[in-house]
Each structure stands twice: as C-alpha cells, then as structure tokens.
Amino acid sequence: MKLGAKVLIDNLFDQRSVPMGDVDDRWLSVEEICKHLGVSKDTVYKWIDKHDMPAQRMGRPWKFKKDEVDEWVRKGGANETGSDSI
C-alpha cells in the first residue's frame, strides 16, 4: 500500500512539472530575452531606445513578453538601419 501511495504522489508531481500556458506567458528578464534572441544586453537596450522593442519597466528592470518580442522581430523591428548599427 505504501508503494502505491508513493507512485500516486510521484505521478502528481510529474503532472505539475509539465509547463502550462500561463507559465509560458511569464515576463522575461533582460538576460533571458538576450539568451532567447542571441544578442547582447547593449543591443537589447538600444532596440528599446531606438527601435521601439516591446518592453515594460517594472521598477528598475525591463521585462519582456516572449511572444510580443518574437512578433516584433518577425515584423522587422530588429533590423539595423543607418548609423544605429552596432
């Protein structure tokens, strides 16, 4: 009986560890969005300032929604132009 209860509890924990839609919609930090996009922090800060990258200030740190940033990139928001290029 004890083994059966342990299996049941293990299965419950396994189900909890499966990502849910809300978890995927969390706010990402600058470091996380840099890793996702494969760019430096300086590039992200420049894109916020000069290219209207979708970002939200939460106190001091910037936060990002992955799906908003991905859409911005798909629409060409990350394209470098003129003397702004790094």
Q: Please count the residues of the chain.
A: 86
* Domains contained in the chain, number: 1
pLDDT of residue 56 exceeding 70 = yes
Q: What is the rounded CA–CA span in Å between residue 32 and residue 12?
A: 29
Give the domain CATH number at 36. 1.10.1660.10
35 lies in which domain range? 23-78
Greater model confidence, 85 or 7: 7
pLDDT on residue 5: 57
pLDDT on residue 80: 72
Angle between helices 30-37 and 66-74 (to 10 degrees): 40
Q: What is the rounded CA–CA span in Å between residue 66 and residue 33?
A: 7
Give the pTM: 0.66
Residue pLDDT, tens place only, 17-41: 445 555 668 999 999 999 999 999 9
